[in-house]
Structure 1
Amino acid sequence: MHYPNLKTVVDTATFHAERHPDRVAIECEGREVTFAQLHRGSNRSARAILAAGVTPGSRVGYLGKESEYYYEIVFACAKSGAVLVPINWRLTPTEIEHILRDSGTELLFTEREFRATALDLQREQNQLRLVVDMDGEGELGAGFRAWTAEHSADDLDTSVQPEDPIVQLYTSGTTGLPKGVVLPHRSFFRINDLLVENDLDWLDWRSDDKSLIGIPGFHVAGLWWALQALNAGVTSVAMRRFLSTEAATLIRESGITTTLVVPAMLQMILAEPRVGSDDFASLRKVAYGGSPISESLLRQSLDAMGCEFVQLYGLTETGNCAVCLPAAEHVPGSPRMRAAGRPMPGVDLRVVDADGVEVPQGEVGEVWLRTPAIMIEYWGLKEATDEVFVDGWFRTGDAGYLDQDGYLYISDRIKDTIIVAGENVYPAEVENALCKHPAVAEAAVIGVPDERWGEAVRAFVVLRPGQQATPRELMLSLKGLISDFKIPAQYDIIDKVPRNPSGKILRRILRDQFWAHVDRNVN
């Protein structure tokens, strides 16, 4: 199922509403929205956004869990020309405040659960002119429906282009403050177009597919996956939040055929009691990514689910996937199962040394990518944008090597980012929060292997002379300062943080003891 005439999200809404208006586009908690309803509803929402004074190019935020209404807002922003800023609802108010202020968000959709936080932040930010309560009288979407009801469902006169921005997603930055990655419409179309043009079924869609959205839409992977299904005109089942029990039930009872997961999600689903291979009978293809997968978990998943598996590698900045390990390469016992994969069609890949010179085959260097799905910019950060681009190549910050057949193997992370169950954690942010404790003189944070989550956050703390602090006290001091998934699980009290002559923390010295038994330094 591929429609090459679709180049923007606006095209997707219009085309499928005309082609199969009564087909279900999104299911969530038993509620169904057809493609026609999604199109008409997003027309009303787009008109409401414009009537609220939001101009094309302005930022519109969403603070809430997954629902059919979220995807209506995605389409409404595209039709109005606004740029959507989806916000991770697990963040603390301080973290949310930074995103709203940095993006200049003018209108914020929020669910009742997060409304108090949103209103508090609105009082502190002049540019945030309007907060729309999605829930109304407590029913999901009721307030949103009332807000859009008076507006016409007729098509808008739009002139959206593939290069126009559609979404601004926040990812970790070198200072610990998240950066806004601005992605255009083309990021959600070009790779799939090129797969079809090259007759590759690495990621394919069939008319009877039913897709499970388990990764939230504030992640590039979640939004990208949902839009791939919508572009193909197939039905998606959205989970409000990922729960392994619910995921297993939905796969079985809704006849899910395909989904995108991070390895930790697979681990949790397979660990569910009373879940067996019969529960996965409808599955035909599972895509996974976000962090490397252990060979033991991959073997277990292949045996239990009995379907094709495809690995994706990419970053928010590359428009999600850039490299793929196809299903045919998932052969138990093959060393190729440790590879990230081959470049997607249209994607160029090189591995270079510190001077940007390509290294020989098999030698480790930094992975650079050039892709038609690449971001437009880091919002408001020209210097940071220029730093990651070299003559059109994007510097990933990941270390890896190529084999004789051009397959990429990720062996380390040049950047300090820690990935916990697919969530990015930047050490500087955690270290800054730890140093707010009156007993802490300095801190260093690393990622260590974790069987369930891929990596876990571990902190090394130097206490001030004469001061004491237990690991529990340190942990409790971080509550409310940073999100729970960023809080270290383990704490080591040390005499001195290892640094180089320029003062940079030598994380490698701290990491080596934990990674010596594994064959790569990412997990």
Structure 2
Amino acid sequence: MTVMAPLSTELAATATHLRGTLLAERVDQEFRPPLMLTDGERVPHADTFSALGLSSLRLVDIEMALDEALGRRSGLTGLGGSGTVGDFLTHLRSEVLPDLFPDRLHHPGLQHVADTVAFHAVRSPDRPAIECEGRVVTYAALHRESNRAAHALLRAGIGPGSRVGYLGKESEYYYEALFACAKNGAVLVPVNWRLTGPEVDHILRDSGTELLLVEPEFVATLPKAGELPGLRLVVEIDPADPASYQTWKDGSAESDLPRCTGPDDAVAQLYTSGTTGLPKGVVLAHRSFFKIRDALAENGLDWIDWLSGDRSLIGIPGFHVGGLWWAMQGFNAGVTNVSMRMFTSADAVRLIRESGITTACVVPAMLRMMLAEPDLAADDFASLRKVVYGGSPISESLLRSSIEMLGCDLAQIYGLTETGNTSVCLPPHAHVPGSPLLKAAGRPYPGVGLRIVDETGAEVATGTTGEVLLHSPAAMLAYWGLTEATDATLVDGWVHTGDAGYVDADGYLFICDRIKDTVIVAGENVYPAEVENALCKHPAVADAAVVGVPHERWGEAVHAFVALRPGAEVTPRELMRSLKGHLADFKTPSTCEFVDGIPRNPSGKVLRRVLRERFWADRERRVG
């Protein structure tokens, strides 16, 4: 089945604001008096209104709801009996939506990351762009300092297409580096600071990073001098004492650089687990950070929106596409972004309360930890108006608790690094306790294609499970240096997600299982081959396989099956300790069991479904 989101759905923008009134006024009869098309058909047909649950409302009921929302007469029925669908939608767009959403922020002229900070430096120079640990950077200052950094990069021989690595926790300097690269034409390569030395080495080596910005506490994880011939310069940044970094920028001009890249050129390269077990560099263009925003605004949808006065919490780290994409949405809107150096649930709750956070993006594990914080007060989340969540599936119990305790709108997003982050959204109006839609990932954004195919690539019928394919204008350019892997994942513009799911009759996507073997631990991707290779290096291990198993807090945890060599002895604790320094902590198996052998098919492929079965047998969704 193929689903292409509609391009004219302005009515959906009123859903969040009007759903209570509309659903309360629902009646069991058709619209009266009807607006009529020129051929005599009724305007309010099912495909226009079914998503809002309006198909059985009278026109007068909609008018009354709009009148209440606007505080005046909407004039809807004044269109008369000869109005067309076009008249109806034009009226909503021109007369109703601007009054419903007067403070919504969208700047369609912004299509390049470099333009974002330059635009707001002129429009709102004194507005805080970033707040981090009490430090405040205005849009004017962020523009000025990223210009200086861009010139410093150029002076160091870094220009269009060069890779600039960043190894550090969240801070204003990470985003200064992002904007500097965008202005200079370089490509930012964020490195997960939780990785071990060998893992960092792979990313720097694979990307061809020429200049690395690094926080002092992570210098020890870097390869020795000379081991990476392409790495020409390492610049230390200490957010608490940035003197050495400022010295590196000394003498750099504050002027704008001439534009040397366009919306379809690379701006970031994020590493995600791949089929070889080694992370692959996903190359994203500037457009990846604007296309979904534009689709929502152009179609009047408030699934993810920005209002004047919003204060956004950046809780997901910027080395993840979810964190980087979310931060860019806040910058594009010109709001204040509150950055956490690293996420802790206590700090997140405190910042929401003390900083007046109105909107945030989190993974489900973060939600669970925040809601489990001791001594939560009734008003801790009072400032929130919308929380966006994604990165891994969410349990129904956690979703119910979030709806009840946060007291704000919720929106679920689904996508991959390869799709430029989100391609599907479960809008706020679908978050109704008890609704079967709470099990859905959502519907594609306008202009995003969704297909479900079988193992031969043929499309399947509605309700039939197959592989999820997505066609997004925000999708990646390629995997860096991996033509075959790119061609296998990005086929004729369609991203093969490796997720199994189905689409219902209303176009909602439901994720059932994972065709690819990736395990997602609290939003972090873990590829089994990498863990298995590390386990098999132990002299006592003959064979190993790992799978994702349900975990109440993290969504999934890594479970290892290990077959020992004849006569060999090792305890699970000793085996896990042997992985220290070779794997990041989140990749290390939480549990381990010894088995006689690892089940494999005739070609030698691990039968992970067999291994996973007993852990997931009583679960409706076989992903965490």
SS of residue in 2 equivalent to 1:478: coil
SS of residue in 2 equivalent to 1:222: helix
Aligned to 2:416: 315
Distance in 2 (alpha carbons) for counterparts of 1:302 and 1:149:
50
Decide whether the 8 Å contact of 1:84 with 1:167 is kept in 2.
yes
Aligned to 1:125: 228
Distance in 1 (alpha carbons) for counterparts of 2:225 and 2:172:
25
Q: Tell me which of 502, 509, 517 is aligned to 1:408.
A: 509
Query: How many correspondences in the alignment?
Result: 520
Aligned to 1:210: 311
SS of residue in 2 equivalent to 1:279: coil
Aligned to 2:149: 45
1:111-510 map, 5 Å: 111-118=215-222, 120-135=223-238, 139-510=240-611
Identity of aligned pairs, percent?
67
Decide whether the 8 Å contact of 2:270 with 2:283 is kept in 1.
yes
Distance in 2 (alpha carbons) for counterparts of 1:22 and 1:314:
35
SS of residue in 2 equivalent to 1:100: helix
What one-letter code is carried by the residue in structure 1 that aligns with 2:360? T
Q: Tell me which of 35, 40, 59 is aligned to 2:139.
A: 35
Q: CA deviation at 1:54?
A: 1.0
Distance in 2 (alpha carbons) for counterparts of 1:72 and 1:142:
15
Question: Unaligned 5+ residue runs, structure 2?
Answer: 1-104
Q: CA deviation at 1:276?
A: 2.8
SS of residue in 2 equivalent to 1:109: strand
What one-letter code is carried by the residue in structure 1 that aligns with 2:178? V
Q: CA deviation at 1:517?
A: 1.1
Deviations 1:113-160 (A, max 9, x none): 012333x3443111000000112xx84422211211211111111233
Aligned to 2:188: 84
Deviations 1:445-478 (A, max 9, x none): 0000001000000000000000011110111011
SS of residue in 1 equivalent to 2:217: helix
Structure 1 residue 71 corresponds to structure 2 residue 172? no
Distance in 2 (alpha carbons) for counterparts of 1:428 and 1:170:
16
Deviations 1:273-300 (A, max 9, x none): 1113310000000000000000000111
Aligned to 2:98: none
Distance in 2 (alpha carbons) for counterparts of 1:465 and 1:115:
41
What one-letter code is carried by the residue in structure 1 that aligns with 2:155? A
Distance in 1 (alpha carbons) for counterparts of 2:237 and 2:435:
50
In structure 2, the CA distance between the partners of 1:435 and 1:467, relative to structure 1 (3 Å rule), is: same
Pair member with larger Rg: 2
Question: Unaligned 5+ residue runs, structure 1?
Answer: none
Q: Tell me which of 203, 226, 229 is aligned to 1:99.
A: 203
What one-letter code is carried by the residue in structure 2 that aligns with 1:81? G
Structure 1 residue 514 corresponds to structure 2 residue 618? no
Q: TM-score, normalised by structure 1?
A: 0.99
Deviations 1:158-184 (A, max 9, x none): 233100100000000101000000000
Distance in 2 (alpha carbons) for counterparts of 1:454 and 1:36:
41
Decide whether the 8 Å contact of 2:160 with 2:260 is kept in 1.
no
Decide whether the 8 Å contact of 2:196 with 2:582 is kept in 1.
yes
Q: TM-score, normalised by structure 2?
A: 0.83
Decide whether the 8 Å contact of 2:463 with 2:503 is kept in 1.
yes
Distance in 2 (alpha carbons) for counterparts of 1:78 and 1:520:
40
Deviation >3 Å, runs of 4+: none
Q: CA deviation at 1:7?
A: 0.3
Q: CA deviation at 1:26?
A: 0.2
The farther-off stretch of 381-390 and 204-213 is 381-390
What one-letter code is carried by the residue in structure 1 that aligns with 2:452? V
Give the alignment's Cα RMSD to 1 decimal. 0.8
Decide whether the 8 Å contact of 2:160 with 2:261 is kept in 1.
no
